[in-house]
Amino acid sequence: MKRSTTLAAALLAGVAALSGCASNQTQPQQIRYISNDSSTYGTIDQITIVQARGSSGVGAVTGGLIGGLLGNQVGSGGGRTAATVAGAVGGAVVGNNVESNRNAGKQEYQISVRMDNGDTRIIQQDSAYDLRVGNRVRLIDGRLYRY
């Protein structure tokens, strides 16, 4: 009994740790002093619509943990071990499929920018609302904004 309690506690701790990674809380705003650096300004050369990435692996890990926990509740001895492994594998497959289906159909914008210092950068972001080819832009924290 102690072994199953320890395993259950470890699996719950793993799920709790992963759920902490998905927090939607905003960070406190920090004041930054940005110089007029040519590496942060540029002109849009091209905008391409691409499909969002399917899976990050979080769904598979979470599903595997939950499936292993549920499988561990079945049987005893070798049967319990087999049920735990089967539950973990099945949960991982289901979790990965759920995450992939959740991200299916989302589009992102791949934006090619010729920076003022001569570099070309490819920025991928979820919105290109007011951005057009030829616009002057500023790159801040990995996102482009009209300048």
C-alpha–C-alpha distance, residues 146 and 127, integer Å = 13
pTM for the model = 0.45
In which element (H, E) is residue 5 found?
A: helix 2-21
Q: Could you report the per-residue pLDDT of 17-32, keeping only the tens digit for each?
A: 555 554 444 444 444 4
C-alpha–C-alpha distance, residues 10 and 69, integer Å = 9
Question: Whose structure tokens read 């071990």?
Answer: 81
Does residue 125 have a pLDDT over 80?
Answer: yes
What does the domain layout of the chain look like in residue ranges?
Answer: 54-129
Does residue 38 have a pLDDT over 70?
Answer: no
C-alpha–C-alpha distance, residues 129 and 145, integer Å = 10
CB atoms within 10 A of CB 68: 24
